[in-house]
Amino acid sequence: MSEQAKTKNGKLDLRAIAKANRAEIKKYETAKKKHHASPSEYQTKMRDSNNLIEFDNLQTYFFTDIGTVKAVNGVSFDIPRGSTIAVVGESGCGKSVTSLSLMRLVQGPQGQIVGGSIRYQQSSGGQAIDLTKLPDEEIRKIRGKEIAMIFQEPMTSLNPVFRIGKQLGEAIHIHLPELSKEEVHKRTVALLEMVGIARAEGITKSYPHELSGGMRQRVMIAMALALDPQLIVADEPTTALDVTIQAQILDLLRELKDKINASIMLITHDLGVVAEMADYVVVMYAGRVIEQGTAEDIYDRPAHPYTIGLLGSIPVIGRKVEELYSIPGNVPNPIHMPDTCYFKERCERCVAACDGNYPDVVELSDTHKVWCYRDFSKR
């Protein structure tokens, strides 16, 4: 059903939306329920063998009561092996949904991956697979073991009724059932010590509510590291914490990153964090990637007006300004996006071409890409 058909006399036709949603959701849910997918259906080839993950035109939509929200609308970027890649953007720009799509944890039934692929290079066996087409049982074996995730809210992300030891040990046990109880426990304690928890033995017997937020986030990190994953997805790991704790957690992550040789996909809106951690930066806006490049590319030569605005809005110690810069306007309504540059309304550097369709990619260098109509040749 076209977007136009969903408005009647200039108002939303909620009935039509509800009807369309039902059909769409049913389609994707039935597809997911298929149990015995043959490996040929999800096996694929990586574009570049150095990459661990390749997002290719990923589309994740939410079918809500007032229309379809294209939370992730054609996102493509790579996560090279052993690197840290930061996904940056305002709240609601689709960065969290991108990571949840990778884990296949998008909240159904209204949230669905509707298109594109996420290619993943498995270390064992060496086969590349498309995570979006993987059957539930197979993705489960990857979650936690090969790709682990640290969530934003340490306060609510641990099960309140189980002891820390059980919650950590469970993660190990489920993927390594051959280990004995003692071995699992030993490993649990070792993990807790690795993330800098003193008295690790005692902590295993604690309940989550007995720990502080910083401690809980350390437990979450320990849980993520439990099985030496290839990729750790950290979804705003420090947002909910005190500033002093934030620094500690970031130090810990950086330290561990060197130790374990995993890739990290760091999702954040804090550009300070990005500067400290990331090798590559992906800037997202309203469900799309608008600029990507190495950390130097983004910090030294930001090209998209939005990125420039973001960087301008970080306070810098020692620089005196009248007023801290803020990008004018608001994030556009995610439901009825026009087919123009999404940032157009808020942009201070618009050119004539901006009235046209959504801009194509401009490759500024091998690593640096931007989606914008500005004339970059003169720079």
In the complex, the residues that contact other proteins under the rule CB under 8 A are: 11-12, 14-15, 18, 65-67, 103, 105, 107, 109-110, 136, 140-145, 148-149, 151, 153, 156-162, 170-171, 174-175, 207, 209, 220, 223, 333, 335-336
Cβ 283 to other proteins shortest distance, Å: 24
DSSP, collapsed to helix, strand or coil, labels residue 379 as: coil
Cβ 12 to other proteins shortest distance, Å: 5
Cβ 205 to other proteins shortest distance, Å: 11
Q: Which is closer to other proteins, CB of 171 or CB of 298?
A: 171
Q: Which is closer to other proteins, CB of 141 or CB of 186?
A: 141
Distance CA 320, CA 41 (A): 58
DSSP, collapsed to helix, strand or coil, labels residue 112 as: strand
Closest to 120 measured CA to CA, from 53, 165, 175, 186: 53
Q: Which is closer to other proteins, CB of 12 or CB of 128?
A: 12
Q: Which is closer to other proteins, CB of 13 or CB of 193?
A: 13
Q: Which is closer to other proteins, CB of 65 or CB of 363?
A: 65
Q: Which is closer to other proteins, CB of 105 or CB of 364?
A: 105
Burial letters 22-59, b for 16+ CB under 10 A, else e: eebbeebeeebeeeeeeeeebebebeeeebbbbbbebb
Q: What is the DSSP string of 31-80?
A: HHH-----HHHHEE--SSTTEEEEEEEEEEEEEETTEEEEEEEEEEEEEE
Judged on CB neighbours under 10 Å (0-12, 13-18, 19+), 193 is middle
Contact 324, 315 (CB under 8 A): yes
Cβ 226 to other proteins shortest distance, Å: 8
Cβ 134 to other proteins shortest distance, Å: 13
Cβ 109 to other proteins shortest distance, Å: 7
Cβ 167 to other proteins shortest distance, Å: 8
Contact 268, 295 (CB under 8 A): no
Cβ 279 to other proteins shortest distance, Å: 24
Q: Which is closer to other proteins, CB of 55 or CB of 62?
A: 62
Q: Which is closer to other proteins, CB of 207 or CB of 358?
A: 207
Contact 296, 368 (CB under 8 A): no
* Cα 45 off chain centre by: 22
Q: What is the DSSP string of 125-180?
A: TT-EEEGGGS-HHHHHHHBTTTEEEE-S-TTTSS-TTS-HHHHHHHHHHHH-TTS-
